[in-house]
Amino acid sequence: MFSHLLAKQRERKKLQEKRRREAIPAATCLPEALLHHLSVGVAQASMNQRKLDHEAKTLQASGSGWWRTSIRHSRKSGMWTCGNRRIELDMRTIATALEYGYKGQLQAIPS
């Protein structure tokens, strides 16, 4: 019976040693694999950021160009003058309303 228990213990010890030998390389590879995976993710994020920056600059440039072209076109087509007239009429309306309001305040003040 004792020899049977010793044999079982030896088998367990061998199995444990085998598992330990298999676990050491796996444990060594794990940090390397994690680091590699993280590096790939960081590189991808960096590349995406560069693409976004380039796209933003392109959109900004095209937007500025569109505004310049729009303003030139509106000046040539006479819309600029039409817009100026509209602003001038609005300002006159506001000035008149303020003037009436001011006169109303003066009349309400007892002398």
68-111, pLDDT tens digit by residue? 787 777 666 665 666 778 888 999 999 999 988 878 776 766 65
- Both 27 and 52 in one domain: the answer is yes
Structural domain containing residue 104: 78-111
Both tokens of 42, joined, read: 């960081």
Q: Annotate the chain with three-state secondary structure.
A: CHHHHHHHHHHHHHHHHHHHHHHHHHHHHHHHHHHHHHHHHHHHHHHHHHHHHHHHHHHHHHHHHHHHHHHHHHHHHCHHHHHHHHHHHHHHHHHHHHHHHHHHHHHHCCC
Same domain, 41 and 55: yes
48-77 residue pLDDT tens: 999 999 998 888 888 777 777 877 776 666
Shared-domain flag, residues 40 and 59: yes
Overall number of domains in the chain: 2
pTM for the model stands at 0.40
